[in-house]
């Protein structure tokens, strides 16, 4: 068995694509437009995320997936990037051997950025 992708309902597909490209450095790999939906597959750090746009999508509270985490090399650089994009993040905190922050995405998804604590 091999992992396929993560599907995320989006409220505004163009805003979501722009967010994923700017914040997560994602790349569009497939873009399917159907009469009642649009499915955009993006590669994000070795994983595929499917943005699912349908007229009936509504904003929703956090679901069974609490967050999606990305390992990064430099938390300071990531925080500077987020500041430049006017995206709020939680105060950094150390958990074990990692330092982490969280941000909210445009569709009520939650992202974690994880960097190893520098010795």
pTM for the whole thing?
0.86
**58 falls in which pLDDT band (50, 70, 90)?**
confident
Sheet of 93-95, strands arranged across: 68-71, 110-116, 98-104, 93-95
User: How much is the average pLDDT of 55-67?
Assistant: 78
pLDDT of residue 117: 86
Tell me the pLDDT of the chain averaged across its residues.
92
Rg (C-alpha) for the chain, rounded Å, is 15
Query: Has residue 62 got a pLDDT over 80?
Result: no
Give the C-alpha separation, 118 to 21, whole Å.
27
Instruction: Give me the helices (H) in the chain, please.
Output: 13-24, 75-84
Domains of the chain: 6-116 (3.10.180.10)
List the structure tokens of 44.
């994000």
**86 falls in which pLDDT band (50, 70, 90)?**
very high
């Amino acid at each position: 068995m091999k992992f396929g992708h993560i599907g995320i309902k989006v409220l505004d597909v163009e805003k979501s694509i722009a967010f994923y490209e700017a914040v997560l450095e994602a790349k569009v790999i497939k873009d399917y437009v159907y009469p009642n939906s649009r499915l955009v597959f993006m590669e994000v750090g070795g994983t595929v995320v499917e943005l699912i746009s349908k007229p009936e999508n509504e904003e929703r509270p956090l679901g069974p997936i609490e967050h999606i985490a990305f390992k990064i090399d430099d938390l300071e650089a990531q925080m500077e990037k987020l500041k430049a994009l006017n995206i709020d993040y939680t105060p950094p905190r150390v958990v074990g051997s990692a330092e982490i922050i969280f941000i909210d995405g445009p569709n009520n998804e939650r992202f974690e950025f994880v960097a190893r604590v520098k010795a």
